[in-house]
Structure 1
């Protein structure tokens, strides 16, 4: 019987003619090694059939837990409550591996509050951070500081430009806007006027949904006119007041497309002013949306698997630290589904 050869960090170091410390850095994706040496060590380790000592890693993490920080964007948003459930599920599954998940739940979508959460989690000696970043320069600079200290970042639900991150987990946002545009186009085969309602500019996801919507309308449905884009609508009160104002002065409105929160306020305005002929497309399967679909006020809602947006970032970071494995793509898209009155309860 052929004797099984155990490949160690020492044997890889000898074959690659480098120190054991260099091999350790490469196998654990730590900085301080040139790209040329990194690639050579990885190739030699693979050729030699190196397998990480998973039991040893688990024991090491149990002695000194690896901390993953998570920032939940808005505690009052039903969507982010579902995201939080996904985080808790993944955290529970990985507890035996010595992974500790530290959560900071924001009270509102506020730059200063998010900045405070980032700094609070950093002070707890985290090795990684998962968050829905606000697309502001002060947040970008703070995240850059983390990456300079080799703290790994995964973004979910909404992304940010200009930082080094492991990946983004969430809906294909431009595509979701295009899908919404196609739905409106089919609801208005003879053309018509559409009102677009969106949230704060600092949430990149919402701006991408607007961009995708405009793109498909301009390209495929030239008979449809976007009469206005209402920005910074973030709750039912503001959406209600602004929708009422527009409906009172705009008799020829045929459809409303909303990219984020405020769905209940729009529905209330349509009900009160008896404008039920207006087509209405929105996002997410939250209680107010379900009610409006059943009442035939919302025609379509587009879902995005919020539970998985909380669950997958923790699993991805576990794979990175425990198995030295990165996701295949920098964009890990969750499922996009169209829901109507006929399948809203599924």
Structure 2
């Protein structure tokens, strides 16, 4: 098997060297400084791993998730002659036409972190968002000893990843024979300042727990909890690991985060596109990266880039 694999690699390198032009893979994702730098680091690592295969990744960034600028980036990448596209779609359906237009040019598309499931994209590389929410729900139920008042801060209702996390969280809470009341589900628009303001208001409502399902909003909510001095009474379960979140985890203000390994999501997306373009490899509609629960006791085992 190893010999066959080596032969396969040698053959691919030979084919790569015989190409007159680089194999170009376009990437579209937000320029926000939390979460997405980890995806970019994974993309760059995949590019480095394919240096012998004449592959070039070209990244174009929107200002913010869901700002509607993805189509402009796609058009510019098409003008550059890309052979594959990896994209973080900021809306469940609004990019379907743009994605389908790319696919109809025989250019495979992979979505990263969140999805446009009704488009013609090849596959989505992400965590299982619904299961991600379920894990958070189980954690919260245990932290509260199955009773209390809980609020949910989500990003956008129309972003598949965010909506599925909420659904999974609520279903997990309901699955327990508990006295947990969900008092509100609020959109933060994935904005740390808005998340701070919303969390600041929520902690005045005698809540016992808050689940925050995006990385940026987790930062805002953590600062609000610290400022209110209610972090010993209010259990916060957040999302993803960043340099900003590490002190909050260490101090116990964030009881746990669900780590989605955005580095691996970016890496996998590029490797999948390379396999599809060069070898016709078949992939299913999803390629899930395993989520991990991080607390202050296993924090040192993980690395982040943002």
State the TM-score, normalizing by the size of structure 1. Answer: 0.80
Greater Cα radius of gyration, structure 1 or 2 = 1
| 5+ residue gaps, structure 1 | 1-49
Please identify runs of 4+ aligned residues in structure 1 that moved more than 3 A: 50-56
Shift of 1:133: 1.0
| Mapping of residues 1-16 of structure 1, within 5 Å | none
1:110/1:168 CA distance change after superposition, 3 Å: closer
- Does the C-alpha gap of structure 1 residues 121 and 220 become closer, same or farther in structure 2, counting only changes over 3 Å? same
1:269 matched to 2:224? The reply is yes
Q: 1:273 to 1:146 in 2, by over 3 A?
A: same
2:253 corresponds to: 297
What SS does the corresponding residue of 1:341 show, helix, strand or coil?
coil
SS of 2:300's equivalent in the other structure is coil
Spell out, residue by residue over 1:205-240, the C-alpha distance to the aligned partner (whole angstroms, 9 max, x if none). 011100000111112244111000111342221111
Within a 5 Å distance, the mapping from 1:1-346 to structure 2 comes to: 54=12, 56-61=14-19, 63-72=20-29, 74-248=30-204, 250-251=205-206, 253-260=207-214, 261-276=216-231, 277-327=233-283, 329-346=284-301
User: Aligned residues, how many?
Assistant: 292
* Alpha-carbon distance, 1:55 to partner: 5.2
Q: SS at the partner of 1:308?
A: helix
Compute the displacement of 1:53 (Å): 5.3
How many Å apart are 1:281 and its aligned residue? 0.3
Deviation at 1:131, TM superposition (A): 0.8
Aligned-partner Cα distance in 1 for 2:177–2:241: 27
Q: Distance in 2 between matches of 1:111 and 1:151?
A: 24
The root-mean-square deviation of aligned C-alpha atoms, in Å, is: 2.0
> By how many angstroms is 1:323 displaced?
2.1
In structure 2, the partner of 1:18 is none
Rounded Cα–Cα distance in structure 2 between residues aligned with 1:76 and 1:254: 30
Relative to structure 1, is the Cα distance of residues 274 and 138 closer, same or farther in structure 2, using a 3 angstrom cutoff? closer
Q: TM-score, normalization: structure 2?
A: 0.90
Given that 1:166 and 1:326 are in contact with CA atoms closer than 8 Å, whether structure 2 keeps it comes out as no
Give deviations 1:104-129, integer Å, cap 9, x for gaps: 12221244311211111111111110
Cα displacement (A) at 1:90: 1.0
Question: Is the Cα–Cα contact under 8 Å of residues 132 and 291 in structure 2 kept in the other structure?
Answer: yes
Q: Deviations over 1:149-201 (max 9, x none)?
A: 11100111111121122211111110010000000111112411000000122
Query: What runs of 5+ residues in structure 2 fail to find an aligned partner?
Result: 1-7, 302-306
